[in-house]
Amino acid sequence: MRVVLIGAPGAGKGVYAQYFRDKYCIPHISTGDIFRDEISRGTELGLRVKQYVERGLLVPDEIVIDVVKKRLQQPDTQRGFILDGFPRTIVQARALDEFTNIDITIHLLVSEEVAVRRLSGRRVCPVCGRVYNIYYEPKPRVNEKCDYDGTQLIQRQDDYPEVVRQRYRVFYETFTPVLDYYTSTRRLVEVNADKTLSEILPLLEKILVDIGVLKLNPCRDVKID
Ligand code: AP5
């Protein structure tokens, strides 16, 4: 199963990928998570991308492509993966086809107002990366602590409303050619991501089962709240 989740900030890419990772043990590869981890560890890559990520701008294609290419060479991706947030430009989409075969790209359509509301309520565990929301499910069970490891949750630097609006705009500046590319190669499905999690997750499962890349045999029991 080689699936790409694309969509504007706040579409829910991370939450849906996290659900498939937990339930079906499929690696979740998020370029945003990789960059934030590198930034927090102060690595050379982190220093190179910090200025872009914190201002809501796209990281240059050559850097992102190199990161994803290396990640897809890791052995855990042999059984499949879910890519979250990559590709975002036509250059990235073409590069991806040079180093792997994608089964399907799912475009999660979210409106700007829903995205701003969701992202202002988003809280993230700095240890395991799990995503919660103080307004929507999944809410943390104990106030602002991770359900899995009890760590204090944090708010991302780029989740303040003015940065979210900037990210939303930047996303659509480069995105139309990506959509056209996947439409013309018949690998695009669109899903209305303004809906609730309990509506979207079964729909995503059905799409993946119908195209024959997912069998409903979970490695863990995961509830949809
Ligand atoms: P990245 O981390 O990828 O950020 P993004 O695309 O802006 O996406 P988000 O993580 O904000 O949104 P999401 O769709 O994953 O939302 P989530 O599932 O958390 O990238 C960050 C930065 O890195 C970029 O700005 C750029 O600088 C750089 N970068 C990354 N990839 C790059 C690339 N390919 N090229 C160049 N630069 C790149 O959901 C949001 C919240 O809403 C959560 O709290 C969730 O609980 C809630 N929620 C989600 N769905 C629902 C629902 N259906 N109902 C209710 N609540 C929901």
Answer yes or no: is 28 within a domain.
Answer: yes
In this predicted structure, what is the pLDDT of residue 218? 86
Answer yes or no: is 216 within a domain.
Answer: no
Answer yes or no: is 94 within a domain.
Answer: yes
Answer yes or no: is 217 within a domain.
Answer: no
Backbone angles phi, psi at 14, to 5 degrees: -65, -45
Percentage, residues of the chain above pLDDT 70: 99
| Mean local confidence (pLDDT), 213-222 | 85
Answer yes or no: is 136 within a domain.
Answer: yes
Q: How many whole angstroms from 10 Cα to the centroid of ligand 1?
A: 5
Q: How many whole angstroms from 217 Cα to the centroid of ligand 1?
A: 27
CATH number of the CATH domain containing 75: 3.40.50.300
pLDDT per residue as tens digits for the range 121-131: 999 998 888 88
Answer yes or no: is 149 within a domain.
Answer: yes
Q: How many whole angstroms from 160 Cα to the centroid of ligand 1?
A: 13
Answer yes or no: is 22 within a domain.
Answer: yes
| Mean local confidence (pLDDT), 97-117 | 95
For residue 1, how far is the Cα from the chain centroid? 16
Please choose, from the candidates 75, 92, 76, 117, the residue with its C-alpha nearest in 3D space to the C-alpha of residue 31: 92
Answer yes or no: is 17 within a domain.
Answer: yes
Q: Point out the ligand 1 atom lying closest to the alpha carbon of residue 193.
A: 53
The answer to whether the beta carbons of residues 35 and 134 sit under 8 Å apart is no
Q: What angle do CA 35, 6, 200 make, to 5 degrees?
A: 115
pLDDT per residue as tens digits for the range 28-40: 999 999 999 999 9
| Structural domains of the chain, count | 1
In this predicted structure, what is the pLDDT of residue 224? 66
Tokens of 35: 């960059």
Read off the pTM. 0.91
pLDDT of residue 225 exceeding 70: no
pLDDT of residue 223 exceeding 80: no
**What is d(CA 46, CA 101) in angstroms, rounded to the nearest whole number?**
28
| Mean local confidence (pLDDT), 135-159 | 91
Pocket of ligand 1 (CB under 6 A): 7, 9-15, 30-32, 35, 52-53, 56-59, 64, 85-88, 92, 118-119, 122, 131, 133, 136, 138, 167, 195-197, 200
pLDDT of residue 197 exceeding 80: yes
- Mean pLDDT across the chain, nearest whole number? 93
- The domain in which residue 143 lies consists of 2-200
